Structure 1
Amino acid sequence: MMNPHRHEKIEKNWQLLAGGDRQGLYECFDLFYDDLFRLGVSLYRDVDLVQGCINELFLELWKIRERLTGVQNIQQYVITIFKRILYKSSNGRKEVQFNEAAHPELTQSSYEEMLIEIQTDEGVKARLQLALKQLSGRQLQLVQLRYFEGRGFKEIAEVTGLTERTVYNTLHNALQVLRKEMN
């Protein structure tokens, strides 16, 4: 179930978008981007394709903004259009191959897949919150940067002042703790 505050923000900005307000468009982009990105990558595993399709989606919404006022289920509407754009852009392929070396952050272990699924499973979300409390402050910080903000190892090292190897090792240990706690 969607957060009521988020739902209100979506409704408000959707109406602004439908009325031709560019700020409403930008806010809708911000509200939907993360979910659309995760959905797109889970379907096609191609970051460039997904990002391009998200941009194309919002360009399309801007073009048809006058027709958006009657939309009842905004989130489903956006997802449906996004999936169509993805499918057309991928030439109908079910999955596009991607270069793991170029995008190592998208190589998903079962734990990372679980992080994506927590948005729909409240039970897993509650268990994950308890498991996260078992981490040290540094581990929690690195998990937040890596898996919730989507930053790469190099960027995390720069932000925290740690070496990339230390970031990798600390995250590895944190994931072991989380896997143990989640089972």
Structure 2
Amino acid sequence: MHSKEPIKNWNLLLEGDKQGLYECFDFFYDDLYRFGFSLYRDHDLIRDSIQNLFIELWEMRDKLQNVKNIKQYVFTIYKRIIYKTNKNLDNQSIGFEDILEEINNNFLIEQSYETILIESQVDEMKRKQLKDALDTLSPRQLQIIQLKFFDRKTYEEIVAITNLTERTIYNTLHNALKVLRENPFFVFKKQ
């Protein structure tokens, strides 16, 4: 994404366009995640804080300023939210095991920014490989894979959604998995 797009999407967000919100979320997510992970080694806290950030941005879109440095503005709000979210979690009852885990997460397993950056690049590469692998499927195969594995639908629910027979769904899923097994991204152990 080039530098003009965040400004365009930010302006769409300010105008109340949900697509602008989604585009800003996509644009900032990886940087926010890396930044949050450099502060707290808690994946759930980071994901919740990013969600809370964009909920707050959406709710206060009428009051948002038309700022020049959007990234700095978003990160300033994010720092406040992640701190507040962490503080709220800290105010809940904390056991001895939680304290030890926090110490381990924040002090004993310190990772450099370079390590975090490499891990995020590996994650990005895996997402691209997964997308490329899924792009080899037919639209129907992709739909069945989406419903079965990502949406966790039962076969009966898939029948109701697609109006296909259960046998057709089994066959389509079998063929889709066969295609995916041939892709180097997927490693299936033979049992």
Question: How much has 1:144 moved relative to structure 2?
Answer: 9.2
**Counterparts of residues 142-181 of structure 1 (less than 5 Å):** 146-149=122-125, 160-162=185-187
Among 10, 14, 20, which residue is 1:24 paired with? 20
Amino acid at match of 2:185: T
Cα pair 2:50 2:78 within 8 Å, conserved:
yes
Cα distance, 1:77–1:109 mapped onto 2, change above 3 Å? closer
Question: How much has 1:68 moved relative to structure 2?
Answer: 2.4
Using structure 2 for the length normalisation, give the TM-score.
Answer: 0.53
Using structure 1 for the length normalisation, give the TM-score.
Answer: 0.55
What's the counterpart of residue 138 of structure 1?
Answer: none
Question: How much has 1:97 moved relative to structure 2?
Answer: 2.5
What's the counterpart of residue 54 of structure 1?
Answer: 50
Gaps of 5+ in 2: 91-100, 128-180
Spell out structure 1 runs of 4+ moving beyond 6 A: none
Q: Does 1:65 align with 2:61?
A: yes
Cα distance, 1:144–1:55 mapped onto 2, change above 3 Å? closer
What's the counterpart of residue 33 of structure 1?
Answer: 29
Distance 1:114 1:25 in 2: 29
Cα distance, 1:49–1:109 mapped onto 2, change above 3 Å? closer
Cα distance, 1:32–1:16 mapped onto 2, change above 3 Å? same
Distance 1:31 1:99 in 2: 31
Structure 1 vs Structure 2 CA RMSD: 3.7
Among 84, 100, 117, which residue is 1:88 paired with? 84
Gaps of 5+ in 1: 101-106, 119-142, 152-157, 165-183
Q: Percent identity?
A: 46
Deviations 1:106-149 (CA, angstroms, capped at 9, x unpaired): x7765xx425458xxxxxxxxxxxxxxxxxxxxxxxx9983434
What's the counterpart of residue 102 of structure 2?
Answer: 97
* Matched residues, number: 123
Cα distance, 1:58–1:98 mapped onto 2, change above 3 Å? farther
Among 41, 44, 59, which residue is 2:40 paired with? 44
Amino acid at match of 2:124: F
Question: How much has 1:162 moved relative to structure 2?
Answer: 3.4
